[in-house]
Amino acid sequence: MKGRSRVSASGTTAAGQVEHMLRQVTPGRYDAYEALLRALADPATGQVWMLLWHGQAGSPDAQYGNIEVDGFNYAPCVTSAQELSASGWTRATEVVSGLGAARALYPDHYGIWLNPHAPGGGVGVPWLDLRRIATGLDRQPAGPLRLSEPAIEIPQFYALLTQNAHRTPAVRSLRRAWVQPALGAPYLAIGLDVYDTSGPAVDSVRAMMQQSIAAVPDGLPVSTVAMADDHDPVAMWLRANSRPFYDREAHAAPAAPVAGYGYPPPQATY
């Protein structure tokens, strides 16, 4: 993996905040893990020392190291100059912001592994959580996610949504999932598969959802996800496990299941 998005290596307070949050993370403590992600995402606190396997910081041949855990790839890093010394790493490093590392690594499905030399092996942040850091933590649900077919019966909403979708030429098909984040309330996700992503088409799909949402019972959160998003775990699950409840072309079939949907087993993540 190429090292990108460098920042200066100044300031111990920033590293201290990440390290403080890192010490709070234990299996099942999703609140502590989420606080760690926020520290990494904060430009004032999020700073890591990426371990370079080849090259020097900023050079064209700079290449991050790689750790593979349960089939998932991570770039190892440390959280301070003190941890770097403790790690015994003798090759070059590159100091980057957590946000910069996230933007550089998640598109290639790489996470980061914080302080792999530490007792207990450190903490892995999978690529899906780097995506959340890169795009905004509050814009994506906290994982790992539990996804299933919706059990709630809301035929009026589905009927109205199907009717409105048929009148919206940009819509190819619609799918649905029940999403239970690690933190926060569960919600109904509607997967939107569209022919056209131009401004007018997007506006027409948004209007379709606004016209249909009136049939949703009070208190039921509903969100949408673009089926074309190759990095969204809900879209990944929908493509692998669900059939459209509305299909303009009426011949869609589900893809082969994909284990994990980007998240490693919990014991490898936290």
In tens digits, the chain (270 residues) has pLDDT values of 544 333 333 334 444 889 889 999 988 889 999 999 999 999 888 899 999 998 888 888 889 999 999 899 999 999 999 999 999 999 999 999 999 999 999 999 999 999 999 998 999 999 999 999 999 998 888 888 999 999 999 999 999 999 999 999 999 999 999 999 988 899 999 999 999 999 999 999 999 999 999 999 999 999 999 999 988 999 999 999 999 999 998 744 454 444 445 555 554 443
**CATH T-level assignment (fold) for domain 12-139:** Trna Endonuclease; Chain: A, domain 1 (3.40.1350)
CATH code assigned to 146-259: 3.30.300
Angle at 34 between CA 138 and CA 143, to 5 degrees: 75
Please tell me the distance from the alpha carbon of residue 101 to that of residue 90, in angstroms, as a whole number: 21
Cα dihedral across residues 78, 27, 119, 63: positive or negative = negative
Distance of CA 73 to the CA centre of its chain: 14
- Parallel, antiparallel, or unpaired: how do β-strands 171-180 and 246-247 relate? antiparallel
Where along the chain do its domains lie?
12-139, 146-259
CA distance 230 to 255: 14
For 98, the 3-state DSSP assignment is helix
Peptide bond into 266 cis (omega under 30): no
